[in-house]
Amino acid sequence: MTDASAATQGKSNIVRRLYDWTIHWADTPYAYVALALLAFAESSFFPIPPDVLVIAMTFAAPKKWWKIAGTCMIFSVLGGVAGWLIGYGFWELTQNFFFTYVPGFTPELFAKVSNMYADNAFLAIFGAALTPIPYKIFTIASGVCNISIPVLIVASIFGRGGRFFAVALVIRLLGDKAKVFLDKYFNLLVTLFFILLVAGFVALKYAWPKHHADDSAPPAQVEQVEPSAVPSAAPDAAQ
C-alpha cells in the first residue's frame, strides 16, 4: 500500500468512526441535546453540519422524524440569530477569529455576501440556509449589514426547515433501505458531500455578478465593515 493510499484509508476510517460515534449518541437520552447544540453552533461558527445527526437520529427513531427535523430547524435558526448578534455588536472584536480559524470564512467571501444583501437579502439567506453554501457567513454578515431580524428568521425557517425536513423525511420513507445504502456507499457519500461543500464555496465566490464596487475591496478594507457602512442593504431587506 502506498503512502497516499494509507493516508486516504486513514481518513476514511476516522470519518467512519465519527459516523459510528454519532449513531451511538442518537440512541442515548442526550440525542436531542446534542442535536440542538450542534445545530445552534453550526449556524455561527462550528464547521460540522447537523445533517449527520439528523440522519442518525431518524434511523434510530423513524417515527419521530418530524420532531428531529423540527428541533434541528429551531435551534439552527436560533443560532442564525446568534450569528446576527455577533455581526451586529461584536464584529470588530471577533472578525480576526473568524477569518483565521473558521474554515471557508474569508474576507473575500464576506465582502461577496455583503454585496449579495444589497441585491436581495431574503433570497441570499434562503439559498445559504437550504444549500451547502456556508450559512454561517450569511448570518454574521446579516448583522454587520444590519439586515432586519424578521427577514433573517423567515428566510432561515424556509431554508433550514426545507433542508432538514427533506433529509429526515427521505430517511423515514426509505427506512432500512436507506441504512443499507448508506452503510454500503458510506465513503462515496462522504466524498460527494465534501464535493458539494466545496462547490458551495466556489459558487459563492464566482457565480454572483461582480458589479458592486465593494466586491473588489482588499481584505484590509473588508475587515473594517461596520453596520453603518452598508446602509444600502437595509431597504431591500425590508421587502
pLDDT in 10s for each residue of the chain, 239 residues: 554 444 444 444 665 665 676 667 777 888 999 999 989 999 988 877 888 888 888 888 889 999 999 999 999 999 999 999 999 999 999 999 999 888 778 888 888 888 889 888 999 999 889 887 789 999 999 999 999 999 999 999 999 999 999 989 988 888 777 767 666 665 566 566 666 666 665 665 665 555 444 444 434 334 444 444 444 444 444 44
Residues 6 or more apart whose CB falls under 8 angstroms from that of 41 comprise: 79
Query: For residue 224, what are the contacts with CB-CB under 8 A and spacing of at least 6?
Result: none
Distance between CA atoms of residues 48 and 134, nearest Å = 11
DSSP secondary structure letters along 117-183: HHHHHHHHHHHHHHSSS-HHHHHHHHHHTT--HHHHHHHHHHHHHHHHHHHHHHHHHHTHHHHHHHH
pLDDT of res. 133 = 79
Cβ pair 217, 112 in contact under 8 A: no
In angstroms, rounded to a whole number, what is the distance separating the alpha carbons of residues 211 and 82? Answer: 30
Q: List the grid coordinates of 64.
A: 419521530
For position 219, what pLDDT does the model report?
40
Q: Write down the pLDDT at residue 19.
A: 62
pTM of the model: 0.71
Q: φ, ψ for residue 49 (rounded to 5)? A: -70, 150
Residue 104 φ/ψ, nearest 5 degrees: 80, -10
Residue ranges in the chain assigned as alpha helix (H): 3-26, 31-42, 51-60, 65-89, 91-101, 107-130, 135-144, 149-174, 176-184, 186-206, 219-222, 233-237
The per-residue pLDDT for 66 is: 96
Residue 98 to residue 234: CA distance in whole angstroms:
24
* pLDDT, position 173: 87
Which pLDDT does position 109 carry in this prediction?
A: 85
